[in-house]
Amino acid sequence: MIVRAAVPNHESRITNHGSIRILGIDPGSQRTGVGIVDIDAAGRTTHVFHAAVNLLDNDDFPLRLKQIFDELYEIVLAHRPHEVAIERVFMARNPDSALKLGQARGAAICAVVAHGLPVAEYSAKEIKQSVVGGGGAEKRQVQHMVSILLNIERKLQADAADALAVALTHAHARASAQRMRAGVALATRTRGTTSSWRSFR
């Protein structure tokens, strides 16, 4: 028997007109964190949704994988993200734990790719560096900074906070890439203008 986590299945209260909606995933074999943010053209981020999918009520591990797939599939339907970011798997000391984590991550990726969504991957160090400013930050520092950056007053559950941190990392990477493209385009136009001006001399 499959036991589902209590994840709301409804349309997002925050619309994303002119924004890109990003789904962040912190995969786990006991709990999988989910966080969604919107990023507008100016690079501002807004909190949309977060949850921790509890898998502990399923003793059978294959059913946990199915639950991850089912829950994430439904979350995508409810909130309609444009892009997905997921934490890259790390090498755990326990090979069995690493294997289960990799399988949980695979189930999550399959769920979003089934909707045709692109997936970006970030290491734990990259996420901490992006959100906190240091790759060696502790979990509580990540939780604190996510709350500040997204203006969330209530205390965040750890896995949900990590998922929002993944989404924020992708949002920051997107904004940086956009600024870089804009800078290159401006430099190209400037060189063209300078060349045209000199042709009149």
What is the model's pTM?
Answer: 0.81
Catalytic residue among 11, 26, 83, 138: 26
Which residues, listed in sequence order, are joined to residue 35 by a DSSP beta bridge?
24, 50
Q: How far apart are CA 195 and CA 30, in angstroms?
A: 61
Reply yes or no on whether the pLDDT at 24 is more than 90.
yes
Catalytic residue among 71, 83, 159, 162: 159
User: Is 57 tagged catalytic?
Assistant: no
Q: Label residue 102 by pLDDT band (50, 70, 90).
A: very high
Catalytic residue among 38, 71, 83, 87: 87
Which strand (E) or helix (H) includes residue 52? strand 45-54
Q: Label residue 3 by pLDDT band (50, 70, 90).
A: very low
Q: Tell me phi and psi for residue 86, to 5 degrees.
A: -140, 145
Q: How far apart are CA 127 and CA 118, in angstroms?
A: 18
Instruction: Indicate the angle between helix axes 124-131 and 158-198, nearest 10 degrees.
Output: 70
Q: Label residue 70 by pLDDT band (50, 70, 90).
A: very high
Q: Which of 34-38, 98-102, 129-133 has the highest mean pLDDT?
A: 34-38
The chain-wide mean pLDDT, for the chain, equals 84
- Which region, left, alpha or beta, applies to residue 198 given φ > 0 means left and ψ of -120 to 50 means alpha? alpha
User: Is 38 tagged catalytic?
Assistant: no
Q: How far apart are CA 167 and CA 11, in angstroms?
A: 19
> Which residue ranges form the domains of the chain, and what is each CATH number?
20-124+148-195 (3.30.420.10)
User: Is 87 tagged catalytic?
Assistant: yes
Q: How far apart are CA 174 and CA 113, in angstroms?
A: 20
Identify which has the larger pLDDT, 93 or 132: 132
Across 3-17, 62-76, 147-161, least confident range: 3-17
